[in-house]
């Protein structure tokens, strides 16, 4: 299979920028995405700040490998998983990232991940399942139709975005591998590759690599939980977790693990990276809760991107990030100030 570098693609020019309304017209957008003409990206209002952060003003589109492109184009908008809130500008979504494997500054991932090789890619399925094994990503995705879903993303650092993802329900994937009755939790692991990921090369780091995260089985099976392979109509950029990431919209963003290479099923609660580092700050559940502050800042409000010093765009944080109707029942009877 051809090796595909996510960062090598045709750049977007300022003259190609179109309004967000083009994105919301799904058919028009995807027809444009498959044409040989220059492809405008939605919500890309300004490139003015690129030079300040040493970020190319002509950041590429991320079309993905050939076998993925048609699946992305065929994705159908699922209006049951959407919001009328304004999308984050595309430029913000691909340049403001937490991905410590590529650096700790918000701009490090976009600077350092552009040569990240994501095809071929394998995912190991292990633990309490009837069908363990190592699977090519292409084979994992083959039977799944992709959906276009718009979710809020709330970071534990109290900033947020609204992003259109392309993916499929994690529940559909789990069912294929037939978990046993002992499978109570699911653990996910990010790629360990010091050659490609400079953040993993330091001798004195905060995180013990590789990065791991986990969910309770009923959380993993909830219809909201998404395995994402794209955003804004194209493949995931490397800095956003290419080629496969988790999206759990009612939890803080660090639960939505990126560049997944292993999915492990167990009967005991799995280790997770930030919870191991600072359990008093980063709980295993990490449900968005405006009434439970981080030890160093309030979680009652958030800074919705785009924002600036003059227009900070501060909004109230909603319980479960606004998804309480879909997920609050999962935690009925639990003390959410203890099990945070």
Walk along the chain (340 residues) and give the pLDDT tens digit of each residue.
434 344 333 333 333 333 344 444 443 444 333 332 222 222 323 333 344 445 666 777 899 999 999 999 999 999 999 999 999 999 999 999 999 999 999 999 999 999 999 999 999 999 999 999 999 999 999 999 999 999 999 999 999 999 999 999 999 999 999 999 999 999 999 999 999 999 999 876 789 999 999 999 999 999 999 999 999 999 999 999 999 999 999 999 999 999 999 999 999 999 999 999 999 999 999 999 999 999 999 999 999 999 988 889 999 999 999 999 999 999 999 999 999 9
pLDDT of residue 203: 72
**Beta carbons of 211 and 270 less than 8 angstroms apart:** no
Query: What sign does the CA torsion over 40, 74, 259, 163 have?
Result: positive
Note the pLDDT tens digit of each residue in 247-284.
999 999 999 999 999 999 999 999 999 999 999 999 99
For the domain spanning 4-331, the CATH number is: 3.90.420.10
Nearest one of 113, 104, 98 to 193, comparing CA atoms: 113
pLDDT of residue 55: 66
Note the pLDDT tens digit of each residue in 74-113.
999 999 999 999 999 999 999 999 999 999 999 999 999 9
- Domain positions in the chain are 4-331
Residue 25 CA to its chain's centroid (Å)? 23
pLDDT of residue 204: 66
The maximal CA–CA distance of the chain, rounded, in angstroms, is: 56
Q: Count the neighbouring beta carbons within 10 Å of the beta carbon of residue 26.
A: 15
Q: Is 14 exposed, middle or buried (0-12, 13-18, 19+ CB in 10 A)?
A: exposed
Distance CA 278, CA 275 (A): 5
Location of structure tokens 């309770």: 216
User: What tokens were used for 117?
Assistant: 């090789």
pLDDT of residue 202: 81
State how beta strands 185-190 and 117-119 pair. unpaired
**Beta carbons of 192 and 205 less than 8 angstroms apart:** no
Q: Where are the alpha helices (DSSP H) in 35-157?
A: 66-73, 90-95, 108-112, 137-141
pLDDT of residue 12: 34
pLDDT of residue 61: 81
């Amino acid at each position: 299979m051809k090796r595909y570098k996510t960062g090598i693609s045709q750049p977007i020019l300022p003259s190609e920028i179109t309004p967000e309304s083009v994105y919301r017209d799904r058919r028009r957008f995807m027809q444009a995405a498959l044409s040989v003409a220059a492809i405008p990206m939605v919500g890309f209002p300004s490139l003015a700040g690129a030079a300040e952060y040493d970020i190319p003003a002509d950041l590429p589109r991320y079309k993905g490998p050939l076998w993925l492109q048609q699946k992305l184009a065929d994705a159908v908008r699922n209006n049951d998983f959407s919001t009328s809130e304004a999308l984050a500008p595309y430029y913000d979504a691909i340049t403001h990232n937490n991905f410590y494997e590529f650096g700790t500054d918000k701009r490090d991932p976009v600077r350092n991940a552009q040569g990240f090789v994501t095809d071929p890619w394998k995912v190991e399925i292990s633990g309490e399942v009837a069908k363990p094994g190592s699977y090519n990503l292409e084979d994992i995705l083959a039977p799944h139709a992709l959906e276009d879903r718009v979710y809020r993303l709330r970071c534990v650092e109290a900033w947020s975005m609204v992003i259109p993802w392309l993916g499929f329900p994690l529940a559909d994937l789990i069912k294929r591998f037939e978990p046993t009755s002992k499978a109570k939790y699911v653990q996910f692991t990010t790629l360990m590759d010091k050659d490609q990921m400079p953040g993993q090369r330091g001798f004195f780091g905060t995180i013990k690599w590789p990065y791991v995260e986990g969910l309770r089985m009923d959380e993993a099976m909830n219809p909201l939980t998404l395995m994402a392979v794209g955003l804004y109509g194209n493949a995931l950029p490397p800095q956003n977790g290419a080629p496969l990431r988790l999206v759990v919209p009612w939890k803080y963003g660090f639960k939505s693990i990126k560049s997944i290479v292993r999915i492990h099923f167990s009967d005991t609660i799995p280790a997770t990276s930030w919870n191991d580092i600072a359990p008093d700050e980063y709980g295993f559940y990490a449900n968005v809760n405006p009434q439970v502050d981080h030890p160093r800042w309030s979680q009652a409000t958030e800074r919705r991107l785009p924002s600036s010093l003059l227009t900070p765009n501060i909004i109230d944080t909603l319980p479960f990030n606004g998804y309480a109707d879909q997920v609050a029942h999962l935690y009925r009877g639990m003390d959410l100030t203890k099990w945070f």
